[in-house]
């Protein structure tokens, strides 16, 4: 008997009283309509097509992969999205529930294919065996397994390795593999162009068309390229920022477009100019939000990927590394900024979290920032990954480099039974972030920001000023809370907490006066964080790193809002004297 694709936790979820019911009902109606149509007994027959000779291309995957994971899979041990499953005995991962939804997504996306194929011929044979088991169990349409967010990436992974798997298959098994890919591609082409997965859908159809031979492959390839040109216009902003504003989405799209380039080269076709331009813009975007140590900023649902996960995408023949001075200081459309000192690098997010379908990984971290001193990352965003984590608490304000009032948050993710319907988007009051940048030639850069997210709860506005002094190599910050509702009476003045999340490799020591904290990274270089808040404490915290939460340190500046005027907290990060 076929088991569920993953186990659901009925006790987790967003509080029903706050649920956006209109959106939930509309999403449920759409889902039920699709289930009724695609679930009809004869629907599978509409996905059939003529026989296919086999596979003609195999685009080369340049994303780094972990051979140790492949070796474990050969022994029946799957580790995906921070969870584990053992199939020792039956050798069948499909006829049992997955430990988490995130695990199930990666399992049915065939994310295990790339590490498994590092195991030589034995890995390819095992990959074929696992595919045939999957085809037997899930060849009929099911809502989760054939959903666009799962199906598109599964087709991409199969397109990369199908030709190699076919070497060890019988003629009948080659047909099963080819026909299955064609049927999945036909279904994918019928799905609506969901903004979050549109580009991935187009890439999947294009790569399937590169891999499959004959007229079937030609049809998918041409349709995929046509869709890809439309998708890039909708999902990529003019400065190379993805529409989700997630740096990891930009990196993944860059890798996908490089696969398309390789696949078309193998088929003797020219890469469209629009795709070439998108690759250049995405490369520039990734470099702009990369720290001096080569790691990627963890803004808006991105994971803090290390240099080895990013560098392969930037080594394209016509895409040589660019000196930091040649990179843009700001991404106007993406609303990201870089402030540079002599050794300081400050990265600031001045945009709002995306809502709706594009908000599946959005984080409510208003005016958040990351800071490096040389190659030492000092302050970091908490990070998150919708593909690898169910830890939605990382997406809220109390997990970020920000200012919090009392223990309140502004936006919260819809999770649990309603979350899947709404793509786990954030829900709460709509608010805006405004920013202004001033450059002083050879002196420094000033970035002024404000948001009114605390209006409904406390009648307050939060202003943040960041100034990088080039000569002193200092970062000066100021937090201000101002009343924007003078008639509102506060029953009790709120407390404030300004948090600084340290990179896990940074050590922090609180000075005796408790007005200074000494920070020291792996290089041994020291930095002082000085402040004028009422108190400072060092707390335990966590950041999302390498697929799982990792312990770190949080510096918290605390005090109470003033009753007689604006509340102001000043702080400064400067090099420690030798």
Claim: this prediction has a pTM higher than 0.85:
yes
pLDDT on residue 360: 85
262 within domain boundaries: no
**What's the rounded mean pLDDT across residues 434-452?**
94
Whether the predicted pLDDT of 6 surpasses 60: no
**What's the rounded mean pLDDT across residues 121-144?**
94
The domain boundary residue, chosen from 191, 210, 232: 191
Give me the domain span that covers residue 95.
Answer: 58-191
Note the pLDDT tens digit of each residue in 213-228: 999 999 999 999 999 9
557 neighbors 569 (Cβ within 8 angstroms): yes
The domain boundary residue, chosen from 168, 191, 214: 191
Q: Distance (Å, rounded) from C-alpha 214 to C-alpha 55?
A: 9
Record the tokens describing residue 339, joined without a space. Answer: 């402030």
275 within domain boundaries: no
Note the pLDDT tens digit of each residue in 89-102: 789 999 889 998 88
Give residues with Cβ within 8 angstroms of 451, minimum separation 6. Answer: 366, 367, 431, 432, 433, 434, 461, 462
Q: Distance (Å, rounded) from C-alpha 98 to C-alpha 479?
A: 45
502 within domain boundaries: yes
Q: Distance (Å, rounded) from C-alpha 354 to C-alpha 362?
A: 6
- The C-alpha torsion from 232 through 295 and 204 to 164, rounded to 10°, is 150
Whether the predicted pLDDT of 523 surpasses 50: yes
181 within domain boundaries: yes
pLDDT on residue 542: 93
CATH number for the domain that contains residue 541: 2.70.98.70
Q: Distance (Å, rounded) from C-alpha 166 to C-alpha 60?
A: 16
Record the tokens describing residue 124, joined without a space. Answer: 């390819």
pLDDT on residue 282: 97
Note the pLDDT tens digit of each residue in 483-498: 988 766 666 789 999 9
Note the pLDDT tens digit of each residue in 230-243: 999 999 999 999 99
Note the pLDDT tens digit of each residue in 313-367: 998 745 555 555 578 899 999 999 999 999 999 999 999 999 888 888 899 999 9
pLDDT on residue 241: 98
254 within domain boundaries: no
495 within domain boundaries: yes
Q: How many domains does the chain fold into?
A: 2
The domain boundary residue, chosen from 172, 191, 210: 191
pLDDT band at 5 (very low <50, low <70, confident <90, very high): very low
């Amino acid at each position: 008997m076929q088991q569920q694709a993953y186990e659901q936790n009925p006790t987790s979820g967003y509080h029903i009283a706050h649920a956006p019911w209109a959106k939930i009902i509309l999403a449920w109606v759409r889902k039920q309509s699709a289930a009724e149509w695609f679930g009809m007994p004869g629907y599978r027959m509409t996905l059939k097509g003529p026989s296919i000779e086999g596979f003609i291309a195999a685009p080369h995957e340049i994303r780094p992969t972990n051979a140790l994971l492949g070796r474990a899979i050969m022994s029946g041990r799957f580790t995906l999205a921070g969870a584990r499953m053992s199939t020792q005995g039956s050798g069948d991962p499909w006829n049992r529930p997955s430990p988490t939804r995130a695990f199930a997504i990666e399992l049915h996306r065939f994310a295990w294919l790339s590490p498994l194929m590092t195991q030589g011929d034995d890995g390819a044979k095992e990959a074929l065996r696992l595919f045939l088991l999957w085809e037997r169990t899930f060849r009929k349409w099911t809502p989760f397994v054939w959903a666009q967010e799962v199906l598109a990436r599964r087709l991409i992974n199969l397109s990369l390795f199908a030709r190699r798997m076919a070497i060890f298959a019988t003629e009948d098994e080659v047909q099963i593999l080819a026909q299955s890919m064609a049927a999945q591609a036909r279904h994918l082409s019928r799905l609506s162009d969901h903004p979050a997965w549109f580009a991935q859908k187009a890439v999947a159809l294009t790569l399937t068309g590169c891999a499959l031979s004959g007229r079937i492959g030609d049809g998918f390839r041409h349709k995929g390229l046509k869709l890809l040109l439309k998708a890039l216009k909708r999902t990529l902003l003019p400065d190379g920022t993805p529409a989700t504003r997630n740096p990891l989405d930009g990196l993944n799209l860059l890798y996908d477009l490089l696969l398309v380039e390789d696949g078309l080269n193998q088929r003797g076709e020219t890469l469209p100019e629009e795709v070439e331009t998108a690759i250049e813009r995405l490369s520039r975007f990734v470099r702009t939000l990369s720290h001096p140590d080569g790691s990627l900023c963890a803004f808006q649902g991105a994971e803090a990927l290390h240099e080895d996960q990013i560098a392969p995408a930037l080594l394209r023949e016509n895409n040589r590394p660019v000196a930091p001075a040649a990179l843009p200081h700001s991404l106007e459309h993406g609303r990201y900024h870089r402030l540079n000192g002599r050794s300081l690098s400050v990265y600031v997010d001045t945009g709002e979290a995306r809502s709706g379908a594009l908000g599946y990984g959005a984080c409510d971290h208003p005016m958040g920032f990351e800071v490096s001193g040389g190659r030492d990352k000092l302050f970091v965003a908490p990070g998150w990954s919708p593909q690898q984590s169910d830890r939605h608490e990382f997406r809220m304000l109390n997990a970020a480099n920000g200012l919090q009032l009392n223990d309140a948050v502004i936006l919260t993710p819809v999770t649990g039974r309603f979350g899947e319907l709404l793509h786990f988007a954030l829900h709460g009051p709509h608010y805006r972030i405004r920013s202004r940048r001033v450059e002083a030639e050879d002196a420094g850069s000033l970035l002024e920001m404000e948001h009114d997210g605390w209006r409904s709860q406390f009648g307050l506005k939060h202003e943040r000023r960041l100034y990088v002094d080039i000569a002193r190599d200092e970062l000066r910050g100021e937090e201000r809370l101002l009343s924007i509702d003078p008639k509102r009476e506060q029953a009790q003045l709120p407390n404030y907490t300004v948090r600084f999340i340290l990179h896990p490799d940074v050590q922090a020591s609180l000075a005796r006066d408790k007005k200074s904290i000494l920070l020291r990274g792996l290089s041994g270089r020291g930095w002082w964080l000085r402040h004028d808040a009422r108190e400072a404490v060092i707390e335990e915290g966590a950041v999302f790193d390498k697929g799982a939460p990792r312990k770190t340190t949080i510096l918290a500046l605390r005090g109470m809002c003033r009753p007689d005027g604006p509340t102001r907290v000043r702080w400064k990060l400067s090099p420690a004297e030798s």
